[in-house]
Chain A
Amino acid sequence: MGRQVAIVSAGFCEHSSKRSDVNMPELVNEAIRDCLKKVPSLGISDIDAFVTGNMPAFEGANMPELWSTDWMGARNKPLLRVTTGGTTGGTVAIAGYYNVTAGLPGIDTVLAIAYEQQSQGDTSVGLASTAYGEISILNTLGIDYDSLSRILSAGAAIGVAAYQATNYMSKARITEEDLARVVVHNRRMAAKNWWAHLRMPDLTIEEVLDTPYVQYPLRYGMLCPASDGACAMLFTTEEKAKDMCDIPVYVNGVASVANESAVLGYDGSGSAQTDPSAQIGAMRSSELAYSQAGISFPRKEIDYAEVYSPFPNQELMWLEKLGLFEETTAPQMYENGTTALDGDLPVNCSGGVNSTNAIGASAMERPAVAALQIMGKADNQVPKTVHTSIGHGWGGSLNLCTLMVMSDEPKRKWR
Protein backbone atom coordinates (compact mmCIF):
# COMPACT_ATOMS: atom_id res chain seq x y z
CA MET A 1 0.00 0.00 0.00
CA GLY A 2 1.16 3.51 -0.77
CA ARG A 3 1.97 6.21 1.73
CA GLN A 4 -0.70 8.46 3.19
CA VAL A 5 -0.70 11.76 1.30
CA ALA A 6 -1.72 15.18 2.58
CA ILE A 7 -2.48 18.51 0.94
CA VAL A 8 -0.93 21.42 2.83
CA SER A 9 -1.75 24.34 0.59
CA ALA A 10 -3.42 25.53 -2.58
CA GLY A 11 -3.09 28.80 -4.43
CA PHE A 12 -4.53 30.73 -7.35
CA CYS A 13 -3.74 33.67 -9.55
CA GLU A 14 -6.28 36.28 -10.50
CA HIS A 15 -8.47 34.98 -13.32
CA SER A 16 -9.90 37.17 -16.06
CA SER A 17 -10.69 36.98 -19.74
CA LYS A 18 -7.37 38.53 -20.73
CA ARG A 19 -4.27 38.47 -18.54
CA SER A 20 -2.13 40.26 -21.10
CA ASP A 21 0.02 41.72 -18.32
CA VAL A 22 1.81 38.39 -17.93
CA ASN A 23 3.19 35.75 -20.24
CA MET A 24 2.45 32.08 -19.63
CA PRO A 25 5.28 31.30 -17.19
CA GLU A 26 4.57 34.48 -15.24
CA LEU A 27 0.91 33.49 -14.91
CA VAL A 28 1.98 30.10 -13.53
CA ASN A 29 4.42 31.77 -11.14
CA GLU A 30 1.65 33.89 -9.58
CA ALA A 31 -0.37 30.83 -8.51
CA ILE A 32 2.73 29.13 -7.11
CA ARG A 33 3.59 32.16 -5.03
CA ASP A 34 0.05 32.32 -3.66
CA CYS A 35 0.25 28.61 -2.79
CA LEU A 36 3.61 28.84 -1.00
CA LYS A 37 2.73 32.07 0.79
CA LYS A 38 0.36 30.03 2.95
CA VAL A 39 3.18 27.71 4.12
CA PRO A 40 5.77 30.04 5.69
CA SER A 41 8.05 27.19 6.80
CA LEU A 42 8.52 26.02 3.21
CA GLY A 43 10.47 27.62 0.37
CA ILE A 44 10.33 26.79 -3.31
CA SER A 45 13.70 25.03 -3.02
CA ASP A 46 12.15 22.55 -0.55
CA ILE A 47 9.93 21.09 -3.28
CA ASP A 48 11.21 17.69 -4.40
CA ALA A 49 9.27 17.19 -7.64
CA PHE A 50 6.84 18.96 -9.94
CA VAL A 51 3.79 17.91 -11.93
CA THR A 52 2.17 20.28 -14.38
CA GLY A 53 -0.35 20.38 -17.19
CA ASN A 54 -2.55 22.50 -19.44
CA MET A 55 -4.73 21.80 -22.45
CA PRO A 56 -2.52 20.79 -25.36
CA ALA A 57 -2.34 23.41 -28.13
CA PHE A 58 -4.77 25.92 -26.61
CA GLU A 59 -2.10 28.60 -26.38
CA GLY A 60 -0.24 27.42 -29.45
CA ALA A 61 2.81 26.65 -27.32
CA ASN A 62 4.16 23.14 -27.35
CA MET A 63 5.86 21.76 -24.26
CA PRO A 64 5.22 24.88 -22.18
CA GLU A 65 6.47 23.03 -19.09
CA LEU A 66 10.01 23.24 -20.43
CA TRP A 67 9.70 26.95 -21.06
CA SER A 68 8.12 27.51 -17.62
CA THR A 69 10.63 25.43 -15.63
CA ASP A 70 12.40 28.37 -13.97
CA TRP A 71 9.12 30.09 -13.17
CA MET A 72 7.89 26.94 -11.43
CA GLY A 73 11.11 26.58 -9.44
CA ALA A 74 11.69 23.25 -11.13
CA ARG A 75 15.19 23.79 -12.52
CA ASN A 76 17.17 20.56 -12.29
CA LYS A 77 14.34 18.74 -10.50
CA PRO A 78 11.99 15.92 -11.53
CA LEU A 79 9.27 17.42 -13.73
CA LEU A 80 6.31 15.64 -15.31
CA ARG A 81 3.60 17.00 -17.58
CA VAL A 82 0.25 15.29 -17.88
CA THR A 83 -2.60 16.50 -19.98
CA THR A 84 -6.05 14.99 -20.37
CA GLY A 85 -8.15 17.71 -21.96
CA GLY A 86 -10.71 19.32 -19.67
CA THR A 87 -9.75 17.09 -16.76
CA THR A 88 -6.08 18.07 -17.01
CA GLY A 89 -6.13 19.84 -13.64
CA GLY A 90 -7.76 16.86 -11.94
CA THR A 91 -5.26 14.50 -13.49
CA VAL A 92 -2.34 16.75 -12.50
CA ALA A 93 -3.61 16.74 -8.90
CA ILE A 94 -3.95 12.96 -8.97
CA ALA A 95 -0.44 12.69 -10.43
CA GLY A 96 0.81 14.87 -7.56
CA TYR A 97 -0.82 12.41 -5.17
CA TYR A 98 0.72 9.42 -7.00
CA ASN A 99 4.16 11.03 -6.82
CA VAL A 100 3.98 11.26 -3.03
CA THR A 101 2.18 8.01 -2.32
CA ALA A 102 4.71 6.09 -4.44
CA GLY A 103 7.39 6.69 -1.82
CA LEU A 104 10.30 7.24 -4.18
CA PRO A 105 13.55 8.07 -2.41
CA GLY A 106 13.94 11.80 -1.94
CA ILE A 107 10.46 12.66 -3.18
CA ASP A 108 8.19 13.71 -0.34
CA THR A 109 6.92 17.15 -1.25
CA VAL A 110 5.39 17.68 -4.68
CA LEU A 111 3.97 20.79 -6.27
CA ALA A 112 1.15 20.29 -8.78
CA ILE A 113 0.44 23.17 -11.16
CA ALA A 114 -2.33 23.50 -13.74
CA TYR A 115 -3.07 26.52 -15.88
CA GLU A 116 -4.51 27.97 -19.05
CA GLN A 117 -4.08 31.30 -20.76
CA GLN A 118 -7.01 31.05 -23.13
CA SER A 119 -6.75 34.60 -24.41
CA GLN A 120 -3.52 33.61 -26.19
CA GLY A 121 -5.14 31.12 -28.45
CA ASP A 122 -8.17 30.22 -30.44
CA THR A 123 -10.02 27.82 -28.16
CA SER A 124 -11.87 26.13 -30.98
CA VAL A 125 -8.62 25.43 -32.80
CA GLY A 126 -7.11 24.18 -29.57
CA LEU A 127 -10.08 21.95 -28.99
CA ALA A 128 -9.46 20.34 -32.35
CA SER A 129 -6.38 18.71 -30.85
CA THR A 130 -8.43 17.14 -28.07
CA ALA A 131 -11.59 16.63 -30.03
CA TYR A 132 -9.69 14.76 -32.69
CA GLY A 133 -9.95 11.68 -30.50
CA GLU A 134 -13.69 12.01 -30.87
CA ILE A 135 -13.58 12.93 -34.53
CA SER A 136 -11.38 9.99 -35.40
CA ILE A 137 -13.96 7.62 -33.90
CA LEU A 138 -16.60 9.22 -36.09
CA ASN A 139 -14.27 8.96 -39.08
CA THR A 140 -13.96 5.24 -38.53
CA LEU A 141 -17.74 5.11 -38.67
CA GLY A 142 -17.64 6.85 -42.04
CA ILE A 143 -18.76 10.28 -40.84
CA ASP A 144 -16.77 13.19 -42.28
CA TYR A 145 -16.19 16.70 -41.00
CA ASP A 146 -19.09 18.20 -42.90
CA SER A 147 -21.60 15.71 -41.52
CA LEU A 148 -20.06 16.09 -38.10
CA SER A 149 -20.75 19.78 -37.96
CA ARG A 150 -24.41 19.01 -38.60
CA ILE A 151 -24.53 16.67 -35.61
CA LEU A 152 -22.47 18.63 -33.12
CA SER A 153 -22.83 22.33 -32.69
CA ALA A 154 -19.71 24.33 -33.36
CA GLY A 155 -17.98 25.17 -30.11
CA ALA A 156 -17.41 21.66 -28.85
CA ALA A 157 -18.37 21.34 -25.19
CA ILE A 158 -21.73 23.05 -25.39
CA GLY A 159 -22.69 20.71 -28.23
CA VAL A 160 -22.38 17.86 -25.76
CA ALA A 161 -23.82 19.65 -22.76
CA ALA A 162 -26.97 20.53 -24.67
CA TYR A 163 -27.79 16.85 -25.20
CA GLN A 164 -27.10 16.13 -21.54
CA ALA A 165 -29.36 19.04 -20.64
CA THR A 166 -32.39 18.01 -22.68
CA ASN A 167 -32.19 14.46 -21.34
CA TYR A 168 -31.78 15.62 -17.78
CA MET A 169 -34.52 18.23 -17.99
CA SER A 170 -36.96 15.71 -19.31
CA LYS A 171 -36.08 13.17 -16.61
CA ALA A 172 -36.18 15.66 -13.74
CA ARG A 173 -39.11 17.63 -15.23
CA ILE A 174 -37.45 20.98 -14.73
CA THR A 175 -37.51 24.23 -16.64
CA GLU A 176 -34.89 26.72 -17.74
CA GLU A 177 -35.61 28.62 -14.54
CA ASP A 178 -34.08 25.74 -12.57
CA LEU A 179 -30.97 25.96 -14.70
CA ALA A 180 -30.81 29.72 -14.22
CA ARG A 181 -31.06 29.24 -10.45
CA VAL A 182 -27.85 27.19 -10.53
CA VAL A 183 -26.12 29.94 -12.52
CA VAL A 184 -27.21 32.59 -10.03
CA HIS A 185 -25.93 30.38 -7.17
CA ASN A 186 -22.52 30.08 -8.83
CA ARG A 187 -22.01 33.68 -9.91
CA ARG A 188 -23.04 35.06 -6.52
CA MET A 189 -20.65 32.62 -4.83
CA ALA A 190 -17.88 33.68 -7.21
CA ALA A 191 -18.30 37.28 -6.04
CA LYS A 192 -16.69 36.27 -2.74
CA ASN A 193 -13.55 34.77 -4.28
CA TRP A 194 -10.89 37.34 -5.17
CA TRP A 195 -9.49 35.15 -7.93
CA ALA A 196 -12.79 34.22 -9.66
CA HIS A 197 -13.68 35.54 -13.11
CA LEU A 198 -17.43 36.27 -13.37
CA ARG A 199 -18.20 37.85 -10.00
CA MET A 200 -21.85 38.91 -10.03
CA PRO A 201 -23.20 39.46 -6.50
CA ASP A 202 -26.56 40.77 -7.69
CA LEU A 203 -27.35 38.46 -10.61
CA THR A 204 -30.99 37.36 -10.84
CA ILE A 205 -32.75 34.43 -12.52
CA GLU A 206 -34.62 36.88 -14.77
CA GLU A 207 -31.38 38.39 -16.02
CA VAL A 208 -30.05 34.95 -16.95
CA LEU A 209 -33.27 34.03 -18.76
CA ASP A 210 -33.20 37.34 -20.59
CA THR A 211 -30.15 36.32 -22.66
CA PRO A 212 -30.42 34.62 -26.08
CA TYR A 213 -30.06 30.90 -26.70
CA VAL A 214 -26.66 29.71 -27.80
CA GLN A 215 -27.92 26.19 -28.18
CA TYR A 216 -31.24 25.04 -26.74
CA PRO A 217 -31.75 24.83 -23.77
CA LEU A 218 -28.57 26.73 -22.88
CA ARG A 219 -28.62 30.50 -23.00
CA TYR A 220 -25.67 32.85 -23.28
CA GLY A 221 -25.99 33.84 -19.61
CA MET A 222 -25.68 30.21 -18.53
CA LEU A 223 -22.33 29.50 -20.16
CA CYS A 224 -18.95 29.44 -18.50
CA PRO A 225 -16.45 32.15 -19.45
CA ALA A 226 -13.08 31.52 -21.11
CA SER A 227 -10.50 32.55 -18.52
CA ASP A 228 -6.78 33.03 -18.11
CA GLY A 229 -5.62 31.55 -14.84
CA ALA A 230 -3.57 29.07 -12.86
CA CYS A 231 -3.83 26.92 -9.76
CA ALA A 232 -1.21 25.18 -7.63
CA MET A 233 -1.54 22.48 -4.97
CA LEU A 234 1.08 21.23 -2.56
CA PHE A 235 1.16 17.53 -1.66
CA THR A 236 3.38 15.93 0.95
CA THR A 237 3.60 13.03 3.39
CA GLU A 238 1.50 12.72 6.54
CA GLU A 239 4.56 13.29 8.75
CA LYS A 240 5.84 16.39 6.96
CA ALA A 241 2.35 17.87 6.60
CA LYS A 242 1.97 18.17 10.35
CA ASP A 243 4.94 20.55 10.50
CA MET A 244 3.76 22.64 7.60
CA CYS A 245 0.19 23.55 8.54
CA ASP A 246 -2.41 23.37 11.31
CA ILE A 247 -4.97 21.27 9.49
CA PRO A 248 -3.46 19.00 6.84
CA VAL A 249 -6.01 17.67 4.38
CA TYR A 250 -5.58 13.96 3.74
CA VAL A 251 -6.21 12.56 0.29
CA ASN A 252 -8.11 9.36 0.95
CA GLY A 253 -9.40 8.40 -2.46
CA VAL A 254 -8.74 9.25 -6.10
CA ALA A 255 -10.26 7.99 -9.33
CA SER A 256 -10.03 8.75 -13.02
CA VAL A 257 -12.58 6.90 -15.12
CA ALA A 258 -13.57 7.15 -18.77
CA ASN A 259 -16.80 5.79 -20.11
CA GLU A 260 -18.15 5.94 -23.62
CA SER A 261 -18.09 9.39 -25.04
CA ALA A 262 -21.82 9.60 -24.48
CA VAL A 263 -22.21 12.21 -27.16
CA LEU A 264 -24.67 10.16 -29.12
CA GLY A 265 -25.75 6.59 -28.84
CA TYR A 266 -23.60 5.26 -31.65
CA ASP A 267 -20.38 6.92 -30.59
CA GLY A 268 -18.23 4.94 -28.25
CA SER A 269 -17.68 1.62 -26.63
CA GLY A 270 -20.85 -0.11 -27.73
CA SER A 271 -22.55 -0.05 -24.36
CA ALA A 272 -25.77 1.00 -26.07
CA GLN A 273 -26.06 4.09 -23.97
CA THR A 274 -28.57 6.52 -25.44
CA ASP A 275 -28.85 8.94 -22.54
CA PRO A 276 -25.93 11.41 -22.42
CA SER A 277 -26.93 12.37 -18.88
CA ALA A 278 -26.48 8.79 -17.61
CA GLN A 279 -22.74 9.42 -17.01
CA ILE A 280 -21.74 5.94 -15.91
CA GLY A 281 -18.09 7.05 -15.72
CA ALA A 282 -18.94 9.57 -13.01
CA MET A 283 -20.81 6.91 -11.05
CA ARG A 284 -17.93 4.49 -11.38
CA SER A 285 -15.34 7.10 -10.36
CA SER A 286 -17.31 7.85 -7.21
CA GLU A 287 -17.63 4.14 -6.38
CA LEU A 288 -13.88 3.72 -6.70
CA ALA A 289 -12.84 6.81 -4.79
CA TYR A 290 -15.43 6.41 -2.04
CA SER A 291 -14.47 2.79 -1.43
CA GLN A 292 -10.80 3.80 -1.13
CA ALA A 293 -11.78 6.47 1.37
CA GLY A 294 -14.07 4.12 3.29
CA ILE A 295 -17.17 6.16 2.52
CA SER A 296 -20.38 4.13 2.50
CA PHE A 297 -22.98 6.86 2.73
CA PRO A 298 -21.73 9.78 0.61
CA ARG A 299 -24.80 11.92 1.30
CA LYS A 300 -24.15 11.71 5.06
CA GLU A 301 -20.37 11.58 5.13
CA ILE A 302 -19.47 14.29 2.61
CA ASP A 303 -19.76 17.84 3.91
CA TYR A 304 -18.74 19.85 0.88
CA ALA A 305 -18.62 19.31 -2.89
CA GLU A 306 -16.90 21.07 -5.77
CA VAL A 307 -18.13 19.68 -9.08
CA TYR A 308 -17.01 20.53 -12.60
CA SER A 309 -19.92 22.24 -14.29
CA PRO A 310 -19.28 24.67 -17.12
CA PHE A 311 -23.04 24.42 -17.78
CA PRO A 312 -25.69 24.52 -15.03
CA ASN A 313 -27.45 21.30 -16.01
CA GLN A 314 -24.18 19.44 -15.42
CA GLU A 315 -23.97 20.60 -11.84
CA LEU A 316 -27.35 19.00 -11.12
CA MET A 317 -26.38 15.86 -13.00
CA TRP A 318 -22.97 15.40 -11.33
CA LEU A 319 -24.31 15.87 -7.80
CA GLU A 320 -26.69 12.99 -8.42
CA LYS A 321 -24.23 10.78 -10.26
CA LEU A 322 -21.66 11.25 -7.51
CA GLY A 323 -24.19 9.94 -5.00
CA LEU A 324 -24.81 13.18 -3.14
CA PHE A 325 -28.48 13.51 -4.03
CA GLU A 326 -31.14 11.06 -5.21
CA GLU A 327 -31.75 10.99 -8.96
CA THR A 328 -33.68 14.05 -10.21
CA THR A 329 -33.77 15.73 -6.80
CA ALA A 330 -30.81 18.12 -7.22
CA PRO A 331 -32.90 21.02 -8.59
CA GLN A 332 -34.98 21.04 -5.39
CA MET A 333 -31.80 21.26 -3.33
CA TYR A 334 -30.95 24.57 -5.02
CA GLU A 335 -34.46 25.81 -4.37
CA ASN A 336 -34.60 24.86 -0.69
CA GLY A 337 -31.11 26.09 0.19
CA THR A 338 -29.42 22.73 0.82
CA THR A 339 -26.54 23.68 -1.47
CA ALA A 340 -26.19 27.24 -0.13
CA LEU A 341 -23.16 28.45 1.82
CA ASP A 342 -24.87 27.71 5.14
CA GLY A 343 -26.80 24.71 3.81
CA ASP A 344 -26.54 21.04 4.61
CA LEU A 345 -24.28 20.30 1.65
CA PRO A 346 -22.68 23.48 0.31
CA VAL A 347 -21.74 23.13 -3.36
CA ASN A 348 -19.30 25.15 -5.51
CA CYS A 349 -18.80 28.02 -3.09
CA SER A 350 -15.92 29.09 -5.31
CA GLY A 351 -18.42 29.88 -8.06
CA GLY A 352 -17.38 26.75 -9.89
CA VAL A 353 -16.39 26.32 -13.50
CA ASN A 354 -19.55 28.17 -14.49
CA SER A 355 -17.94 31.38 -13.17
CA THR A 356 -14.24 30.72 -13.80
CA ASN A 357 -12.89 28.47 -16.52
CA ALA A 358 -9.21 28.48 -17.29
CA ILE A 359 -9.73 25.01 -18.71
CA GLY A 360 -6.48 23.28 -17.80
CA ALA A 361 -6.73 24.65 -14.26
CA SER A 362 -10.49 24.14 -13.73
CA ALA A 363 -10.40 20.48 -12.71
CA MET A 364 -7.64 21.23 -10.18
CA GLU A 365 -9.42 24.23 -8.74
CA ARG A 366 -12.21 21.87 -7.61
CA PRO A 367 -10.10 19.71 -5.23
CA ALA A 368 -8.04 22.81 -4.34
CA VAL A 369 -11.08 24.70 -3.07
CA ALA A 370 -12.53 21.56 -1.48
CA ALA A 371 -9.24 21.12 0.44
CA LEU A 372 -9.14 24.77 1.54
CA GLN A 373 -12.70 24.39 2.88
CA ILE A 374 -11.44 21.63 5.22
CA MET A 375 -8.50 23.81 6.32
CA GLY A 376 -10.87 26.71 6.96
CA LYS A 377 -8.88 28.87 4.56
CA ALA A 378 -11.25 29.13 1.59
CA ASP A 379 -12.04 32.62 0.32
CA ASN A 380 -15.76 31.89 0.60
CA GLN A 381 -15.53 29.69 3.68
CA VAL A 382 -18.62 27.74 4.71
CA PRO A 383 -19.62 28.40 8.34
CA LYS A 384 -19.91 24.75 9.35
CA THR A 385 -16.88 22.53 9.95
CA VAL A 386 -16.01 20.55 6.85
CA HIS A 387 -14.54 17.14 7.64
CA THR A 388 -14.81 15.46 4.26
CA SER A 389 -15.03 17.04 0.82
CA ILE A 390 -14.79 16.04 -2.82
CA GLY A 391 -13.32 17.70 -5.91
CA HIS A 392 -14.57 16.46 -9.27
CA GLY A 393 -13.41 17.00 -12.84
CA TRP A 394 -14.96 16.32 -16.24
CA GLY A 395 -13.33 16.43 -19.63
CA GLY A 396 -10.94 14.30 -21.59
CA SER A 397 -12.59 13.79 -24.91
CA LEU A 398 -15.83 14.72 -23.16
CA ASN A 399 -15.90 11.37 -21.37
CA LEU A 400 -13.42 11.35 -18.49
CA CYS A 401 -14.24 11.95 -14.82
CA THR A 402 -11.66 12.59 -12.11
CA LEU A 403 -12.47 12.60 -8.43
CA MET A 404 -10.50 13.32 -5.28
CA VAL A 405 -11.90 12.58 -1.80
CA MET A 406 -10.28 14.57 1.00
CA SER A 407 -10.67 14.51 4.76
CA ASP A 408 -9.25 15.99 7.96
CA GLU A 409 -8.54 12.43 9.14
CA PRO A 410 -6.07 10.04 7.50
CA LYS A 411 -7.43 7.03 5.66
CA ARG A 412 -8.94 4.43 7.96
CA LYS A 413 -6.53 1.57 8.37
CA TRP A 414 -9.11 -1.21 8.80
CA ARG A 415 -8.90 -2.52 5.25
Chain B
Amino acid sequence: MAEEEKVIVNNKGLVRAEFNFWVGRYMDKFYDGLEQKKIVGNKCPKCGDVFCPPRSVCGKCNENLSLDQNWVDLPDSGTLQNFTITHFKVTDRRTRKVKDPQLIAMVQIDGSNTAIVNRLLNMPPDEIKIGMRVKVDWSEKTTGAPSDINGFVKV
Protein backbone atom coordinates (compact mmCIF):
# COMPACT_ATOMS: atom_id res chain seq x y z
CA MET B 1 0.00 0.00 0.00
CA ALA B 2 1.27 3.39 -0.97
CA GLU B 3 1.63 5.66 1.99
CA GLU B 4 1.40 8.86 0.07
CA GLU B 5 -0.34 9.61 -3.21
CA LYS B 6 1.18 12.08 -5.62
CA VAL B 7 -1.09 13.48 -8.28
CA ILE B 8 0.64 13.37 -11.65
CA VAL B 9 -2.32 13.95 -13.92
CA ASN B 10 -5.48 15.86 -13.20
CA ASN B 11 -7.68 15.83 -16.28
CA LYS B 12 -10.49 18.31 -16.43
CA GLY B 13 -12.41 17.03 -19.40
CA LEU B 14 -14.68 19.71 -20.74
CA VAL B 15 -15.94 18.85 -24.18
CA ARG B 16 -18.39 20.98 -26.08
CA ALA B 17 -20.55 18.77 -28.22
CA GLU B 18 -22.77 20.13 -30.95
CA PHE B 19 -25.06 17.75 -32.76
CA ASN B 20 -27.53 18.12 -35.60
CA PHE B 21 -30.42 15.77 -35.88
CA TRP B 22 -31.92 15.58 -39.34
CA VAL B 23 -35.64 14.87 -39.09
CA GLY B 24 -35.89 13.66 -42.68
CA ARG B 25 -38.52 14.40 -45.30
CA TYR B 26 -41.42 12.64 -43.56
CA MET B 27 -41.12 14.74 -40.42
CA ASP B 28 -40.54 17.81 -42.62
CA LYS B 29 -44.13 17.40 -43.79
CA PHE B 30 -45.31 17.07 -40.22
CA TYR B 31 -43.62 20.31 -39.17
CA ASP B 32 -44.83 22.09 -42.31
CA GLY B 33 -48.32 21.05 -41.20
CA LEU B 34 -47.81 22.42 -37.70
CA GLU B 35 -46.90 25.80 -39.16
CA GLN B 36 -50.38 25.90 -40.70
CA LYS B 37 -51.92 24.60 -37.46
CA LYS B 38 -52.65 21.27 -39.09
CA ILE B 39 -51.75 17.78 -37.97
CA VAL B 40 -50.80 15.25 -40.61
CA GLY B 41 -50.06 11.55 -40.40
CA ASN B 42 -49.48 8.77 -42.89
CA LYS B 43 -51.17 5.45 -43.39
CA CYS B 44 -49.77 1.98 -44.00
CA PRO B 45 -51.46 0.72 -47.19
CA LYS B 46 -51.21 -2.85 -45.88
CA CYS B 47 -52.52 -2.82 -42.31
CA GLY B 48 -54.18 0.58 -42.37
CA ASP B 49 -52.44 1.87 -39.26
CA VAL B 50 -52.15 5.65 -39.25
CA PHE B 51 -48.94 7.08 -37.84
CA CYS B 52 -48.80 10.45 -36.17
CA PRO B 53 -46.06 11.64 -36.36
CA PRO B 54 -45.56 10.12 -39.82
CA ARG B 55 -42.79 7.63 -40.60
CA SER B 56 -41.23 5.96 -43.62
CA VAL B 57 -41.65 2.34 -42.54
CA CYS B 58 -44.44 0.31 -40.96
CA GLY B 59 -42.53 -2.02 -38.66
CA LYS B 60 -45.47 -4.39 -38.28
CA CYS B 61 -45.78 -5.05 -42.04
CA ASN B 62 -42.20 -4.18 -43.04
CA GLU B 63 -43.81 -1.89 -45.58
CA ASN B 64 -42.10 1.20 -46.98
CA LEU B 65 -44.57 4.09 -47.03
CA SER B 66 -44.11 6.27 -50.09
CA LEU B 67 -43.40 9.94 -49.49
CA ASP B 68 -45.85 10.93 -52.23
CA GLN B 69 -48.84 8.94 -51.06
CA ASN B 70 -50.61 7.70 -47.95
CA TRP B 71 -50.89 11.13 -46.29
CA VAL B 72 -53.82 11.69 -43.96
CA ASP B 73 -55.05 15.03 -42.60
CA LEU B 74 -55.93 14.60 -38.96
CA PRO B 75 -58.00 16.79 -36.62
CA ASP B 76 -56.37 18.55 -33.68
CA SER B 77 -58.45 16.63 -31.17
CA GLY B 78 -57.75 13.32 -29.50
CA THR B 79 -58.19 10.99 -26.56
CA LEU B 80 -56.00 10.93 -23.47
CA GLN B 81 -54.35 7.52 -23.28
CA ASN B 82 -52.30 7.92 -20.11
CA PHE B 83 -50.74 10.63 -17.99
CA THR B 84 -48.40 11.46 -15.16
CA ILE B 85 -47.95 14.36 -12.76
CA THR B 86 -44.61 15.69 -11.59
CA HIS B 87 -43.58 18.44 -9.20
CA PHE B 88 -40.10 18.57 -10.64
CA LYS B 89 -38.66 20.15 -13.73
CA VAL B 90 -36.21 17.89 -15.47
CA THR B 91 -34.72 20.54 -17.69
CA ASP B 92 -33.72 22.97 -14.96
CA ARG B 93 -31.45 21.70 -12.23
CA ARG B 94 -31.38 24.87 -10.18
CA THR B 95 -35.08 25.34 -9.58
CA ARG B 96 -36.07 21.74 -9.74
CA LYS B 97 -39.20 22.05 -7.70
CA VAL B 98 -42.03 23.84 -9.48
CA LYS B 99 -44.99 25.68 -7.99
CA ASP B 100 -47.68 24.14 -10.14
CA PRO B 101 -47.38 20.43 -10.91
CA GLN B 102 -46.56 19.56 -14.47
CA LEU B 103 -49.04 17.36 -16.26
CA ILE B 104 -47.66 15.18 -19.03
CA ALA B 105 -49.81 12.92 -21.14
CA MET B 106 -49.93 10.68 -24.17
CA VAL B 107 -52.72 11.67 -26.54
CA GLN B 108 -54.03 9.59 -29.42
CA ILE B 109 -54.99 12.03 -32.15
CA ASP B 110 -58.38 11.10 -33.63
CA GLY B 111 -57.97 8.88 -36.66
CA SER B 112 -54.44 7.76 -35.77
CA ASN B 113 -53.15 4.57 -34.16
CA THR B 114 -50.29 6.16 -32.28
CA ALA B 115 -50.00 8.55 -29.38
CA ILE B 116 -47.95 11.70 -28.97
CA VAL B 117 -46.53 13.00 -25.70
CA ASN B 118 -47.17 16.56 -24.61
CA ARG B 119 -48.31 18.70 -21.69
CA LEU B 120 -51.82 19.11 -20.39
CA LEU B 121 -52.70 22.75 -19.79
CA ASN B 122 -55.19 24.57 -17.57
CA MET B 123 -56.39 21.43 -15.87
CA PRO B 124 -56.68 20.64 -12.18
CA PRO B 125 -54.87 17.31 -11.59
CA ASP B 126 -57.92 15.65 -10.07
CA GLU B 127 -59.94 16.24 -13.22
CA ILE B 128 -57.61 14.23 -15.44
CA LYS B 129 -59.02 10.91 -16.51
CA ILE B 130 -57.82 8.36 -19.02
CA GLY B 131 -60.16 8.39 -21.99
CA MET B 132 -61.07 12.07 -21.68
CA ARG B 133 -61.32 14.26 -24.78
CA VAL B 134 -58.62 16.85 -25.37
CA LYS B 135 -57.51 19.16 -28.16
CA VAL B 136 -54.37 20.98 -29.21
CA ASP B 137 -53.68 24.41 -27.77
CA TRP B 138 -51.84 26.09 -30.63
CA SER B 139 -49.12 28.61 -30.13
CA GLU B 140 -50.14 32.07 -31.39
CA LYS B 141 -47.30 32.33 -33.85
CA THR B 142 -46.38 29.01 -35.42
CA THR B 143 -42.93 28.42 -36.91
CA GLY B 144 -43.01 24.77 -37.99
CA ALA B 145 -41.44 23.44 -34.80
CA PRO B 146 -42.52 21.28 -31.85
CA SER B 147 -43.16 24.48 -29.88
CA ASP B 148 -46.13 25.22 -32.16
CA ILE B 149 -48.11 22.98 -29.84
CA ASN B 150 -48.33 24.53 -26.38
CA GLY B 151 -50.04 21.41 -25.09
CA PHE B 152 -53.47 19.85 -24.86
CA VAL B 153 -56.54 21.33 -23.21
CA LYS B 154 -59.86 19.87 -22.20
CA VAL B 155 -62.52 19.98 -24.91
Interface on A for B, CB 8 Å cutoff?
A: 19-26, 29, 33, 43-45, 59-61, 69-71, 73, 75, 117, 119-122, 125, 128, 139, 142-145
Contact = CB atoms under 8 A, between A and B. Distances in A.
A117 B27 CA distance: 17
Q: Which 5 A-B pairs give the minimum distances between C-beta atoms?
A: A70-B59, A60-B19, A23-B24, A142-B8, A125-B17
Nearest to B20: A120
6 contacts: A23-B27, A59-B21, A75-B60, A120-B20, A120-B22, A144-B9
A36 B58 CA distance: 17
B62 interface: yes
Nearest to A148: B11
Interface string B21-62: 111111100000000000000000000000000011111101
A44 B18 contact: no
Interface string B110-124: 000000000000000
A29 B58 CA distance: 12
Contacts of B13: 145
Given A20-B22, A22-B22, 12 more contacts: A23-B23, A23-B27, A25-B56, A29-B56, A43-B62, A59-B21, A70-B58, A71-B57, A75-B60, A120-B19, A122-B17, A143-B9
B139 interface: no
Contacts of B10: 144
Interface of B: 8-13, 15-27, 55-60, 62, 64
Contact of B64 (A22, A23, A33): A33
Nearest to A117: B22
A120 B21 contact: yes
B24 A60 contact: no
Given A29-B56, A29-B64, A75-B60, A144 B11 contact: yes
Contacts of B24: 21-23, 26
Contacts of B60: 75
B19 A21 contact: no
Given A43-B62, A45-B62, A26 B56 contact: yes
A45 B20 CA distance: 32
Contact of B11 (A44, A60, A139): A139
A109 to B, nearest CB: 14
Contacts of B16: 125
Nearest to A140: B9
A231 to B, nearest CB: 18
B11 A75 contact: no
Nearest to A74: B59
A24 B64 CA distance: 15
Q: Which of B27, B56, B57 has the most CB of A within 10 A?
A: B57
Contacts of A117: 22
Contact of A21 (B12, B18, B25): B25
Given A122-B19, A125-B15, A139-B9, A29 B57 contact: yes
Contacts of A75: 59-60, 62
Nearest to B21: A120
B17 A19 contact: no
A23 B25 CA distance: 8
B8 A21 contact: no
A76 to B, nearest CB: 9
B27 to A, nearest CB: 7
Contacts of B19: 59-60, 120-122
Nearest to A21: B25
A121 B8 CA distance: 33
A128 B16 CA distance: 11
A21 B23 CA distance: 8
A132 to B, nearest CB: 9
A104 B8 CA distance: 51
B116 to A, nearest CB: 17
A128 to B, nearest CB: 6
A128 B22 CA distance: 22
B101 to A, nearest CB: 29
Nearest to A61: B21
Contacts of A45: 62
A24 B58 CA distance: 16
A145 B11 contact: yes
Q: Which of A19, A22, A45, A61 has the most CB of B within 10 A?
A: A22
B68 to A, nearest CB: 14
B103 to A, nearest CB: 27
A23 B22 contact: yes
Q: Which of B8, B10, B26 has the most CB of A within 10 A?
A: B8
Contacts of A145: 11-13
Contacts of A33: 64
B20 A119 contact: yes
A6 B15 CA distance: 44
A70 B47 CA distance: 15
B151 to A, nearest CB: 25
Nearest to A22: B24
